[in-house]
Amino acid sequence: MSKKRRVFSIEMPDEPAATETEIFPAGKVEKPDTRRGPMATAISETAHNSRDRAATEARIRSENDALAHEHVRLKKLGLITDLIPLEKIDTWKLTRDRSSGADMELAELVISIRELGLSNPIQVEQRADGRYELIQGFRRLSAYKELLEETGDAERWGKIPAGITGQGATLEALYRRMVDENLVRKDISFAEMAQLALHYAMDPDTEVNDPDKAVAVLYQSTGYSKRSYIRAFIKLMAALGEDLRFAPDISRALGLSLVARLEEVPGTAATIRTELKGWGNRSVKDELDVLRRFAGQGAEARVNGAGQGAAPRPTPAVTGPKARTSFQLPRAQGRAKCVAANGRLEVRLNRDFSTIDRRKLEAAVRSLLDQLE
């Protein structure tokens, strides 16, 4: 029996397929040759990690730069505040616009800080040596020192909140900042403002030598009339400042009257100094009574035949020239400013003379005076 062959009808497409697909055995897919040795794998991983590390470091540097710029900006604005140890704060760069005598309000400030704390931080300038220079807040710093001395509690009173400003501000700007703060408080006297102008002109690091010009620099934010009063008090403080214990208590009217009398009657300043000399236990009233008398405001000013309110002319004890001589000398520490006036010779130099041996300092002054004879 013969087998029949079966014929299948297969229809073939008229056109060939667009692309030909290679046929692979079942279960196998073509993959790139990824076989690498251990060394090649380690090198690849190291390069990948290095790229990631470099990107991370660049991002950190960028963030640090941004933070540093922001820190500098806030520092210039005095907005960076920290607790600064009292012993790291110096007060020699700026001459304070406060009288060196007794501060009757300091006791009240001490009580307020002890009970309520410090509401307004002081302002300091950071120095290259790691110490700080006081710019604003002399009375607040003094109150903390008193509290530390009184209690011995260094944990509480050994450090004071302070706004830290970076270096770079001019000396004029620092003086202006101090002055404006105290002007806002409205309790600084004309005598203190005048004394500051005198010290500013004497400061070897300032460009101003004339106290009248110092007024224009320091008190730009005040009116013309107030500046004229300060200039009048400069004459009073230059003539009597070292002999007055209670200069801040001199009223504007009394000060202006005294200046007029000093200019009208030569030798008046010397007479006042003679009367106050050696009067160590005098009170505020005692000193002001003397000044009122010479200004024509005291009871003794009304004498028979002198007229109502007229003042007797004091007999000059010493008559001398009213001129002032000022000059500068270059020194290793900077410029030394010298002012010579009737009865006074001042030398201002950026140096702490208190550190010099007393005998050496005394010998130097004696030699100077001997050469002037």
- Tokens 């006081």 locate to 134
362: enclosing H helix or E strand:
helix 358-372
Say whether 251 sits in a helix, a strand or coil.
coil
Calpha distance 183→3 (Å, rounded): 129
CB 344 within 8 A of CB 270: no
Domains of the chain, start order = 60-171 (3.90.1530.10), 325-372 (no CATH)
Task: Indicate yes or no: pTM above 0.85.
Answer: no
Calpha distance 332→350 (Å, rounded): 10
Q: Please give the chain's pLDDT, 373 residues, in tens.
A: 555 565 555 565 565 555 555 555 555 555 555 566 677 666 777 777 777 777 777 777 877 777 777 666 666 665 677 899 999 998 877 765 445 555 556 788 888 898 888 888 888 888 888 889 888 888 889 899 999 999 999 999 999 999 887 666 677 777 777 776 666 555 678 998 898 888 888 887 788 888 899 898 888 878 888 899 999 999 999 999 888 988 988 999 999 999 999 999 989 999 999 999 888 888 899 999 999 999 987 644 443 333 333 344 343 343 344 456 777 777 777 777 777 776 778 887 777 787 888 888 888 888 888 888 7
Question: Cα 22 from chain centroid?
Answer: 86
Q: Which of 362, 361, 323 is nearest to 339 (CA)?
A: 323
Strand residues in the chain grouped as ranges (E): 80-85, 89-90, 122-126, 132-136, 159-165, 325-331, 334-341, 344-348
